[in-house]
């Protein structure tokens, strides 16, 4: 198996009168390790990535957990126990596989559709429930020191990732950054600024673009005329690679190599992970308005989870009994998380005043006092 991320030289100066668009000379590599049935693709000479059974099972478990938590969040949302959230069913490989390639000292800079990866990085399930219930306390947990919170503003986090990566370089830390975003993000100015800064600074950052074919109702083809998203990297003199984003091993391998490159001082990499959002954009969205059932059905057949399971079974590290046990284990884990979430401590009503500034200021403290006075009056009346 090889990662074909070469950027052949540009075609030289454009001759006068030759502005035809057809004159592309670039090539974008596409990496796939497993076929849709989980079998190793023969033409990839390198075979499977170098992952031991424990790592493979960790990855698989992370993806199964992500799917189960997604199901549960959807139920909690329908019951009004949490707010709007963005399901990630179908995209588990994109968020989980990079985490297996990462070291604890690397930074995870995500957007809002990578809960699977966050859980695999160590975020407790109940903390994520808390966050979706409106409690930012959910964003604090042991081990989360290098995992940034959800970023809602599309593409904004990409620049933060570049800054962190630069800081790692400046401080001489042997650490890199993995930054997640969607296909829609590639239209924002922040995307292009981040790509450019990263390349100019040769920052140790790996951009993982989850091309799930939709940005709410806007299909990928209307987001950009570019035939691939990966080719955008070429303009910034950065390796750009497409991977099968529903092939966890391909995602792993690409991120693994890009991280090694980043740590070795080779600079940034752009990985376009081609995947699909099987559910609604968020719980407030109705995808029937803009896409067909047939399209969704076609992508259900490329589900990343059974694909990896078949591979594990073929390698002899997974069987039906293990699956039954895992499902039961995860069911219990989620039940416990729901319980913990429901029994969560009574948060201070004025907690939102606590983290506005590092140094308290009387102007805000007056408002806190006013808020608390009103609260006790209203509770007294009712």
Partner 1 sequence: MSKLNMVQAINLALHEEMARDQNVVCLGQDIGVDGGVFRVTEGLLAKFGAERVLDTPLAESGILGSAIGMAIAGLRPVAEMQFSGFAYLMLGQLEGNAARYRARSQGRFTCPLVVRMPYGGGVRALEHHSESHEATFAHVPGVKVVMPSAPGNARALLAAAIRDPDPVVFMEPKRSYRAFREEVSDEPEVMEIGRAQVLREGSDLTVISWGAMMRPALQAVGEIEEQRGASLELIDLLTISPMDGETIAASVRKTGRCVIVQEAPFSLGPASEIIATINDKALLHLEAPVKRITGYDLTVPYFSREDMYLPSPGRVRRAIEETLDF
Ligand X SMILES: Cc1ncc(C[n+]2csc(CCOP(=O)(O)OP(=O)(O)O)c2C)c(N)n1
Selected from 14, 39, 152, 356, the binder of ligand X by CB under 6 A is 152
In this structure, what are the phi and psi dihedrals at residue 214, rounded to the nearest 5 degrees? Answer: -140, 145
How many angstroms separate the CA atoms of 63 and 107, rounded?
A: 20
Residue 214 touching ligand X (CB under 6 A): yes
Residue 154 touching ligand X (CB under 6 A): yes
Q: What string marks each residue from 71 to 110 as x (binds ligand X by CB under 6 A) or -?
A: ----------------------------------------
Residue 187 touching partner 1 (CB under 8 A): yes
Report the alpha-carbon angle 9-212-117, nearest 5: 100
CB atoms within 10 A of CB 158: 29
Residue 212 touching Mg ion (CB under 5 A): yes
CA 228 from centroid of its chain's CA atoms: 19
Residue 118 touching ligand X (CB under 6 A): no
CB of 92 to partner 1, least distance (A): 22
How many angstroms separate the CA atoms of 66 and 120, rounded?
A: 9
How many angstroms separate the CA atoms of 55 and 58, rounded?
A: 5
CA 180 from centroid of its chain's CA atoms: 5
Question: Which single residue is written with the structure tokens 């806007």?
Answer: 218
Question: Which entry of ligand X, Mg ion, partner 1, none binds 113, CB below 5 to 8 A by partner kind?
Answer: ligand X
| Residues numbered 260-279 forming contacts with ligand X, rule: CB under 6 A | 277
Residue 369 touching partner 1 (CB under 8 A): no
Closest Cα partner for 144 from 173, 174, 176, 117?
117
Contact 33, 45 (CB under 8 A): no
CB atoms within 10 A of CB 116: 26
Instruction: Cite the active site residues.
Output: 277, 281, 290
- Which range in 125-133, 195-203, 210-218, 354-362 contacts ligand X by CB under 6 A? 210-218
Residue 224 touching partner 1 (CB under 8 A): yes
In this structure, what are the phi and psi dihedrals at residue 270, rounded to the nearest 5 degrees? Answer: -115, 125
Selected from 279, 281, 307, 309, the binder of ligand X by CB under 6 A is 281
CB of 44 to Mg ion, least distance (A): 27
- Which range in 22-30, 185-193, 255-263, 329-337 contacts partner 1 by CB under 8 A? 185-193
In this structure, what are the phi and psi dihedrals at residue 133, rounded to the nearest 5 degrees? Answer: -90, 0
Is 178 strand, coil or helix? Answer: strand
Selected from 90, 116, 117, 184, the binder of ligand X by CB under 6 A is 184
Q: What string marks each residue from 218 to 247 as x (binds Mg ion by CB under 5 A) or -?
A: ------------------------------
How many angstroms separate the CA atoms of 150 and 161, rounded?
A: 13
How many angstroms separate the CA atoms of 129 and 186, rounded?
A: 29
Contact 269, 203 (CB under 8 A): no
Residue 115 touching ligand X (CB under 6 A): no
Contact 90, 113 (CB under 8 A): no
Residue 113 touching ligand X (CB under 6 A): yes
Selected from 49, 87, 98, 182, the binder of ligand X by CB under 6 A is 182
- Which range in 15-23, 150-158, 198-206, 362-370 contacts ligand X by CB under 6 A? 150-158
Residue 33 touching ligand X (CB under 6 A): no
Encoded tokens for 1? 């198996």
Angle of helix 53-78 versus helix 304-314 axis, rounded to 10: 150
CB of 290 to partner 1, least distance (A): 5
Count of residues that bind partner 1 according to CB under 8 A? 45
CB of 190 to ligand X, least distance (A): 8
Q: Which residues bind ligand X (CB under 6 A)?
A: 113, 152-154, 182-185, 210, 212, 214-216, 277, 281
Q: Which residues bind partner 1 (CB under 8 A)?
A: 82-85, 132-135, 150, 152-154, 184-185, 187-190, 215-218, 222-224, 284-285, 289-290, 349-353, 356, 363-364, 367-368, 371, 374-375, 377-378, 381
């Amino acid at each position: 198996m090889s990662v074909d991320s070469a950027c052949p030289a540009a075609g030289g100066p454009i001759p006068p009168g030759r502005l035809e668009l057809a004159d592309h000379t670039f090539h974008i590599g596409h990496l796939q390790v497993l076929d849709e049935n989980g079998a190793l693709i023969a033409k990839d000479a390198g075979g499977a990535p170098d992952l031991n059974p424990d790592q493979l099972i960790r990855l698989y478990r992370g993806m199964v957990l992500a799917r189960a938590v997604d199901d549960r969040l959807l139920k909690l949302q329908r019951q009004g126990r949490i707010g709007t959230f963005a399901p990630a069913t179908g995209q588990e490989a994109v968020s989980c596989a990079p985490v297996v390639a990462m070291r604890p000292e690397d930074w995870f800079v995500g957007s809002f559709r990578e809960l699977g990866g966050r859980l695999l990085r160590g975020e407790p399930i109940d903390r994520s429930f808390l966050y979706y219930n409106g409690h930012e306390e959910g964003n604090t947990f042991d081990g989360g020191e290098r995992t940034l919170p959800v970023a809602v503003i599309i593409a904004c986090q990409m620049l933060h990732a570049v800054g962190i990566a630069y800081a790692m370089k400046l401080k001489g830390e042997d650490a890199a950054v993995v930054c997640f975003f969607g296909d829609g993000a590639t239209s924002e100015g922040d995307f292009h600024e981040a790509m450019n800064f990263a390349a100019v600074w040769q920052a140790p950052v790996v951009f993982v673009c989850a091309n799930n074919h939709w940005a709410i109702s806007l299909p990928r083809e209307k987001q950009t005329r570019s035939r691939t998203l990966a080719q955008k990297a070429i303009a910034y003199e950065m390796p750009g690679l497409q991977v099968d984003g529903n092939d966890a091993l391909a995602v792993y391998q690409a991120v693994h190599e890009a991280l090694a490159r980043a740590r070795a001082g080779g600079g940034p990499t752009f990985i376009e992970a081609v995947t699909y959002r099987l559910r609604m954009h968020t719980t407030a969205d109705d995808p029937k308005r803009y896409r067909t059932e047939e399209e969704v059905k076609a992508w259900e057949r490329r589900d990343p989870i059974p694909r990896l399971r078949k591979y594990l079974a073929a390698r002899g590290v997974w069987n039906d009994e293990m699956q039954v046990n895992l499902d039961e284990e995860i069911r219990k884990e989620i039940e416990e998380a729901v319980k913990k979430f429901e029994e969560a401590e009574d948060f201070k009503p004025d907690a939102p005043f606590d983290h506005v500034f590092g140094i308290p200021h009387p102007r805000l403290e007056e408002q806190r006092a006013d808020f608390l006075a009103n609260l006790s009056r209203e509770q007294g009346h009712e």
